[in-house]
Amino acid sequence: MGLLVPPEVRDESAAAGMRERIARLFAAQEGGRAARYPVSIVKSRLMTASFRATEGDPQVLRIAHALAAVLDQVPVFIERDDLLAGNLASVPGGVELSSVWAPWSEEELDALCAAGFAVRPEDRAEIAEINDYWRTRSLTSRMTSRYDEQRLWPYAQLGVVLPAFRSKEEGWGPGGMIGCGWGIHHEISQIIGVFDYGRVLREGLTSLIAEAREKLADVRLMSADEVARAELLQAMVISLEAIVRFAGRLADAADAAAEAEEDPARREELRALASMCRHVPLNPARTYHEALQSLWIMWLVILPAGILSFSRLDQLLGDYYDADLAAGRIDHDRALELMQWLRIKDSQIVITSGQTHRSKYGGLAKWHNCNVGGQKPDGSDATNAVSFLLLEAARTCPTPHPTLTMRIHDGTPDALLDAALELIGTGIGLPAFVGDNSVIEFLTREGIGIEKARDYGLAGCLGINVIGQSRTVAWPMFVAPRVLKFALHGGVDPETGKQVGPKTPRLDECADFAEFEAAFRTQLSHFIALQAEFNNITIQSYGERFPQPVESALMDGGIGATKNILGRTLPLENGSAVNPIGLVNVSDSLVAIRKRVFEEGAIGAGELLNHLAANWQGEAGQAVRELMLSAPKYGNDDAEADAAVVELYRFCAETITKLTSTYGGNQKAASITIGTCIMPGGKASGATPDGRYQEEGLADESLTPMRNRDKRGLSALINSVLKIDQAAWQALSLDLRLSPELFATAEKRAEVAAVVRDYFERGGKHIQFNVVSSELLLAAQRDPESHKDLIVRIGGCSAYFTQLAAETQDEIIHRTEYASLD
């Protein structure tokens, strides 16, 4: 299987590990970070014209025809150093505007330009016309039309779900979306799933099209279900055949580039590229390069998603690579070059939105996950040569994207884990680790058979999915400390004086802590239920407005199903996840209230409320804050503090999973704080009784203690984390910052590896590391121009540190840095 990475390759610097054209691409990407992104409306123009022409037709067919219109007409070209065919936008370095999420106002276009994007003045009038068409047809308009005025519309504006809705037209994403790629999607909020790319590589689209045509011929329109089945099958045929034509257009572009090419070697390379695009994805891939080309074309069609999985890329490509090596069709350096190209191209992809979302997703964050390692369905280790190649590509071509997540199980080879830790030690924040024990237990608890469970993949930063058998659509941030704020005031929002939750006793009306805890749970249950309803409206509206025939065809049983992927009940029905963030802050707050207010009487309840409202101002406020800070805190292996967080996570998981979704099945409990949402989440929550200031972000990630409150070392922190039943949650995340010295030698990395293995053997679900010193981070703040390449981990992805807002940079700097594993 060729599992070993050549030592001479492992020892090279990043620059030395690049061939000339990869170095050229890497340097161009560096320059691009300081440039303006040209905003194109070509995709939006073509898509909107198609929708205008198909008014009155079934929506799934309109989607298919719009996709075909884009794929048949969008400009295609081959750039100088392209190793795979398929441009990201209709202009080099550009992005495509879309109004299917929500319209773009002049104010939002102005803000977009101020953020580094370039909208052509002559396009603004057409953007306004496109806005007018989509104003009553957008996803947001469908969602908000279903919000009643008494409960759900006030809830959407309340700031518990992040970000708060500004208006019924703009929703929570004012300014629509912008992205790359050619699918008819709404970019950021979309399907978080792992599609069955393997079938396309093995069988080609010809097999999928033939199956769809065969099933369509057998349909008899004797029921509403059969009519729906026929329409979906027709849409699949239209869409998949359009992808084949698109590949042919790429082949023509490669041939044209070859005709104009003076260098004989590049000319032959371009001709080979054209030949590949005429063969895949229509037919089965025959080589490693063809498999990548086939995957890249499919990726482009569904790319507008900021949360999209490359699946288990080493499993998809491993056999092709081994066969090519054995036949002499490829060598290590060529295979590495292709992986490096993929890293650069993915890092060139830009996904953004209006102002509100940009404050939530910092650094142009996206979550294109490549899964590495893990187990085969029979339980044997899945490591292969491509597993190492993915790590090597990230080390020699250090871009923030795509993100890598390595699955760890008892049989994970030491060599693979050491290669991963060596990469992490460079500071890139890749890969993150997930534990097979916890993930597989979660899946088997959900009724998934063990062989399918072992073959799971991850989408987004930590979206656990069964390949081709699950997907999450609604997964917004639910700000739990804001609910605590309402509970402190009897269900009243102190900012407006409105009764926003059930009437319960205020903190200063409670006789004891048990009464207040019961009041808080009443509020939490109420708002979790509202969030579930909110999610249900999202997934129902998405399925109605933008059914997805291509993604549906890439799911088990999708061809021939009555409903598309945005309506079917799937084997792992995880369509909607309730995602509370800030639970650590809530738990620490509850402990501090119990200790200082009720048990000790050190501070009066009314006085505490006043100091929270004043954000701990004044000498008295500071004294009370210190009192609350000194209460037991999660992350120190403290029995009292940890018991509180364990109970809170248990209560949330049980409350969430009792609620149902419109796709069938139950809501899933998932807690991740992606991107930079801890900052707006913190501001929405105000000062909290754990001693946090209003302007401070919430605790980073779901399992990470609040910054600098974990005082007893890494072992104590891990002991605290492992007390939580992590298998009850679809996603939980632990983010740690370790000193670079802990990764300096193989011996030191072996000690870190032992900690990682122990964590997962004891039930941990996820862990990721920032390995960068405070000195370097501070230097980057002082002199960003000299540190443009500095990459850090923010939530579930990596990003360039100097592209982050100053408040996010400060938050990373102030995270606890561990210099010892004790």
pLDDT at 8: 34
Confidence of residue 156 (pLDDT cuts 50, 70, 90): very high
- What are phi and psi for residue 381, nearest 5 degrees? -70, 140
pLDDT exceeds 60 at position 81: yes
pLDDT at 2: 32
Cα-only R_g, the chain:
26
- Dist. CA 376–CA 392, nearest whole Å: 22
Q: For residue 10, give both structure tokens.
A: 């492992």
Of the candidates 706, 695, 721, the residue with the CA atom closest to the CA atom of residue 629: 706
pLDDT at 7: 33
Query: Residues 6 or more apart from 264 whose CB is under 8 A from it?
Result: none
- Dist. CA 753–CA 742, nearest whole Å: 11
pLDDT at 315: 98
pLDDT at 4: 34
Whose structure tokens read 């960003």?
784
pLDDT at 255: 98
Of the candidates 170, 179, 141, the residue with the CA atom closest to the CA atom of residue 44: 179
Residue 387, in any domain of the structure: yes
pLDDT at 11: 39
pLDDT at 166: 83
DSSP state of 576: B
pLDDT at 305: 74
Mean pLDDT over each residue of the chain, to the nearest integer: 93
- Dist. CA 634–CA 206, nearest whole Å: 55
pLDDT exceeds 60 at position 3: no
Chain-centroid distance of CA 272 in Å reads 34
Q: For residue 244, give both structure tokens.
A: 């084949």
Q: Which helix (H) or strand (E) holds 769?
A: strand 766-770
Residue 181, in any domain of the structure: no
Residue 386, in any domain of the structure: yes
Confidence of residue 352 (pLDDT cuts 50, 70, 90): confident
Find the range with the poorest average confidence among 33-37, 71-75, 484-488.
Answer: 33-37
DSSP 692-714: B-TTSPPPSSSSSPSTT---S-H
**Neighbour tally for 512: CB within 10 Å:** 11
Please compute the mean of the pLDDT values over residues 102-111 and round it to a whole number: 93
Q: Which helix (H) or strand (E) holds 98?
A: strand 95-98
Find the range with the poorest average confidence among 22-31, 207-216, 436-445, 703-712.
Answer: 22-31
Domain containing 357 equals: 1-35+186-196+304-460+734-772
Residue 612, in any domain of the structure: no
Q: Are 284 and 162 in contact (CB under 8 A)?
A: no
DSSP 435-469: EHHHHHHHHHHTT--HHHHHTEEEETTTEEEETTT
pLDDT exceeds 90 at position 472: yes
Please compute the mean of the pLDDT values over residues 182-187 and round it to a whole number: 78
Confidence of residue 184 (pLDDT cuts 50, 70, 90): confident
pLDDT at 30: 62
Chain-centroid distance of CA 607 in Å reads 41
The bridge status of strand 177-179 relative to strand 463-466 is unpaired
pLDDT exceeds 60 at position 34: no
Residue-wise pLDDT tens digits, 695-744: 999 999 999 999 999 999 999 999 999 999 999 999 999 999 999 999 99
Q: Which helix (H) or strand (E) holds 521?
A: helix 513-545
Residue 646, in any domain of the structure: no
pLDDT exceeds 70 at position 652: yes
Q: What pairs with residue 40 in β-bridges?
A: 96
- Dist. CA 168–CA 114, nearest whole Å: 25
Q: For residue 650, give both structure tokens.
A: 């248990």
Q: For residue 379, give both structure tokens.
A: 């339980």
Chain-centroid distance of CA 169 in Å reads 25
The bridge status of strand 498-499 relative to strand 577-581 is unpaired
Please compute the mean of the pLDDT values over residues 795-813 and round it to a whole number: 85
pLDDT exceeds 80 at position 75: yes
**Per the structure, how many domains does the chain have?**
1
- Dist. CA 59–CA 239, nearest whole Å: 13
Residue 802, in any domain of the structure: no
pLDDT at 351: 82
Residue 162, in any domain of the structure: no
Please compute the mean of the pLDDT values over residues 498-522 and round it to a whole number: 98
- Dist. CA 19–CA 15, nearest whole Å: 9
Q: Is 89 helix (H, G, I), strand (E, B) or coil?
A: coil
- Dist. CA 181–CA 305, nearest whole Å: 9
pLDDT at 796: 76
Q: Are 183 and 301 in contact (CB under 8 A)?
A: yes
pLDDT exceeds 60 at position 33: no
Q: Are 112 and 178 in contact (CB under 8 A)?
A: yes
Of the candidates 268, 308, 325, the residue with the CA atom closest to the CA atom of residue 180: 308
Residue 370, in any domain of the structure: yes
Q: Put residue 193 in one of left, alpha, beta given phi > 0 → left and psi -120 to 50 → alpha.
A: beta
pLDDT exceeds 90 at position 28: no
Q: In 302-401, which residue ranges form alpha helices assigned H by DSSP? A: 313-327, 332-348, 355-360, 385-396
- Dist. CA 579–CA 581, nearest whole Å: 6
**Neighbour tally for 414: CB within 10 Å:** 10
pLDDT exceeds 90 at position 629: yes
Number of H helices, E strands in the chain: 32, 25
pLDDT exceeds 90 at position 680: no
pLDDT exceeds 70 at position 90: yes
pTM for this entry: 0.95
Please compute the mean of the pLDDT values over residues 768-795 and round it to a whole number: 91
User: Cα–Cα distances in Å, from 62 out to 49, 54, 126, 742?
Assistant: 11, 6, 22, 56
User: Cα–Cα distances in Å, from 58 out to 208, 227, 346?
Assistant: 22, 10, 34
Q: Are 506 and 608 in contact (CB under 8 A)?
A: no
Q: For residue 619, give both structure tokens.
A: 């000498």
Please compute the mean of the pLDDT values over residues 680-709 and round it to a whole number: 95
Please compute the mean of the pLDDT values over residues 599-611 and round it to a whole number: 98
Confidence of residue 1 (pLDDT cuts 50, 70, 90): very low
pLDDT at 187: 62
Confidence of residue 340 (pLDDT cuts 50, 70, 90): very high
Chain-centroid distance of CA 237 in Å reads 29
